Amino acid sequence: MKVFKIFAAAAMVMAMVACTENKKQTVMTDREPANIMVVVDLQKDFIDGNLPATDGTRVVEPIKNVLTKFDRVYFTLDWHPWNHCSFKANGGIWPQHCVRYTVGAALPDGILDNLNIDNVEFLPKGQAQDKEEYGQFENTVGRDQNLFVKGDNVVVCGIAAEYCVLETLKNLVRLSQEIGFELSVYLEGVASIESNEPLVTYMNENNIKIYK
């Protein structure tokens, strides 16, 4: 049974990659405003693997329970080469994690259940060997993208609060100002390495609401 689960997780990784690399974008900039959840790095290595958040396992069910309430779901993914610069073996500060095509980079079992795959996007980051990339959307420009439109309601959650969630949120704040969408954070679905405090402080400073 354990071997089967490992192969199943590996198969899910392959499916994620296929969607990421080969699927045509279904999000159009002329669509109607939608409710969108951005799930940051909800990957096995951050849940109970090589670099687990202190409460990584706790957030899986709360996130899964609300996903079907959203019109679109975007999963950001750490998608590192085996020799990424952030790893301790290469002079970085982190243990090796979320190496692409490995089980540790996969989403938790069952997280895609009941979702329409046509409304799901997988957004990899951290793919360049020599560059750390905590936040997704760093290089996304409002006028040259097809993920968000004016009037969207965008909710952020995931792992880890003080790193990838925070930096992704900062990038989304900029995009929300360029495009004109609402932004909030689902704190019940956020896990940290050490503390949520940097994220909450940034939310308070920028009047970002809590999604409930």
Distance CA 42, CA 53 (A): 10
pLDDT at 204: 97
Q: How confident is the model at residue 30 (pLDDT cuts 50, 70, 90)?
A: confident
Tokens of 84: 């990424």
**Chain position carrying tokens 């980079």:** 105
pLDDT at 210: 98
Strand partners, 36: 72, 154
Q: How confident is the model at residue 27 (pLDDT cuts 50, 70, 90)?
A: very low
Mean pLDDT to the nearest integer, 164-187: 98
Contact (Cβ atoms closer than 8 angstroms) between residue 129 and residue 81: yes
**Rounded to 5 degrees, what are φ and ψ at 76?**
-85, 150
pLDDT at 13: 55
Q: How confident is the model at residue 25 (pLDDT cuts 50, 70, 90)?
A: very low
Mean pLDDT to the nearest integer, 123-130: 96
| Strand pairing report for 182-191 and 153-159 | parallel
pLDDT at 141: 94
What topology does CATH give the domain 2-20+34-210? Rossmann fold (3.40.50)
Mean pLDDT to the nearest integer, 147-159: 98
Report the percent of the chain where pLDDT is more than 90.
Answer: 84
Distance CA 169, CA 183 (A): 9
Nearest to 63 by CA among 137, 135, 136, 159: 159
Contact (Cβ atoms closer than 8 angstroms) between residue 191 and residue 56: yes
Mean pLDDT to the nearest integer, 161-178: 98
Tokens of 24: 């045509």
Distance CA 139, CA 158 (A): 20
Model confidence over 46-97: pLDDT tens digits?
Answer: 999 999 999 999 999 999 999 999 999 999 999 999 999 999 999 999 999 9
155 pLDDT above the threshold of 90: yes
CA angle 135, 192, 2 (to 5 degrees): 100
Secondary structure class of 8 (helix, strand, coil): helix
Name the H helices within 78-196. Answer: 166-179
Sheet holding 120-125, edge to edge: 120-125, 72-78, 35-40, 153-159, 182-191, 209-210
pLDDT at 29: 57
Nearest to 66 by CA among 114, 124, 119: 114
pTM: 0.90
* 207 vs 30, residue with greater confidence: 207
Contact (Cβ atoms closer than 8 angstroms) between residue 38 and residue 155: yes
pLDDT at 8: 53
